[in-house]
Amino acid sequence: MIIGIDASRAIKAERTGTEAYAYFLINHLLPMTAGNHQVRLYFNQPPPPNLFPTYPHVTHINIPFSRLWTHTRLAWELHTAPPDVFFTPAHVIPATYLRPSVATVHDLGYHYFPQAHTRQQVAYLTWSTRHNAKRGRFVLADSKATQRDLSHFYQIPPEKIEIVYPGLDPMLQPATPPPLDTPYLLYLSTIQPRKNLIRLIDAFAQVAADIPHQLVLGGRVGWRAQPILNHIDQLPADVRSRITLAGYIPEADKARWISGATLLLYPSLYEGFGFPLLEGNACHTAVIASTSSSLPELAGDGAASLVPPEDTNALAQAIRHLTLNPATRDKLIAKGKTNINRFSWHSAAQKTLQILEKAATIR
């Protein structure tokens, strides 16, 4: 069987969640396909050297194109030399492609927070998600929360949606030395409205006098982040001076930043799959997350302290309690060590391959 995979999102050096998903899933799929299948990886620009290990059954197809690559250049390649099944782990099935295909849908946050996107982005996300869900022989969802959203918003039959939990970067484990000499609380994701950062900042301001910690906001500044930055500027000077915008934290440094934090804070309003919660588990750092969307599902049996995302006082109380009570943090950390065993890229790749093999037989 020939498996074609859109690998265009896996080549980015500064990976966000969906890009990391594409990179790690493909990396684990490739050795599993040896001996039984041929794999074609499609790139919209030459990939970095040694992005993926070299395998005799894997072909890299570089087809650079400046605009509308998926629906023009990739589509032409797929029509000219169609694989038995096409898989897009982090993007969209070409509009004109009708052969067996599978797509991953990561989240439907734009339905809950359309104001976090431009109108054009919402229109495209709505079209591309509906298109993937209708055109794909199967749809992979990162969580039960995303499965429910697909069924609710697009009336996709549940039996067509396969839940495949992603795994974690194996580099994410307890690491030293910490990057800061002072104690700190860490948020690690994009700076954007959906992440509930204004409430997080206000919760920190409530407890700042009670704890000696800095609040570190790590991540790229995203779209519509200016109100968040303005909110920090308007804080009293003594609180403002204790908030650090660390910018994008490279993958190689992420484990030290998480391991060195007293708490990892992730009170997001919506997540299809909240990687930071599990990253805190992996680095043995206690986590505070929200009760929204997929986060309770990922926290399982107590691997994070969960608070309602719109309750700033509850978030402040959780921060104060866990910062001042190491025994309670230790209990969360112990739960987290067990929790991460539910998530592995090997298992994700095994299940994905089974779904691709099944999809190739459906016409």
Domain 184-342 has CATH 3.40.50.2000: yes
Q: Say what percent of the chain tops pLDDT 90.
A: 79
Q: Which residues lie closer than 8 Å to 279 by C-beta, 6 or more apart?
A: 168, 169, 172, 188, 254, 258, 264
Average pLDDT over residues 100-127: 86
CA–CA separation, 189 vs 235, rounded Å? 22
- Shared fold status for 2-167+344-359 and 184-342: yes
Q: Mean pLDDT throughout 354-360?
A: 96
Q: How far is residue 243's CA from residue 3's CA, in Å, rounded to a whole number?
A: 47
Which pTM was predicted?
0.88
Q: Report residue 65's pLDDT band, with 50, 70 and 90 as the boundaries.
A: confident
pLDDT digits (tens, 9 = 90+) for 134-149: 899 999 999 999 999 9
Q: What is the pLDDT of residue 13?
A: 72
Where are the chain's structural domains? 2-167+344-359, 184-342
Structure confidence at residue 363 (pLDDT): 66
Q: Region 10-32: what's the mean pLDDT?
A: 89
Domain 2-167+344-359, CATH among 3.10.150.10, 3.90.850.10, 3.40.50.2000, 3.40.50.300:
3.40.50.2000
**Helix, strand, coil abundance in the chain, percent, nearest 5:** 45, 15, 35
Q: What is the pLDDT of residues 254-306, one digit of tens each?
A: 999 999 999 999 999 999 898 999 999 999 999 999 999 999 999 999 999 99
- Listed range (80-84, 191-195, 228-232, 311-315) with the worst mean pLDDT: 191-195
DSSP 241-273: TTEEEEEPPPHHHHHHHHHH-SEEEE--S--SS
φ and ψ at residue 332, rounded to 5 degrees: -65, -40
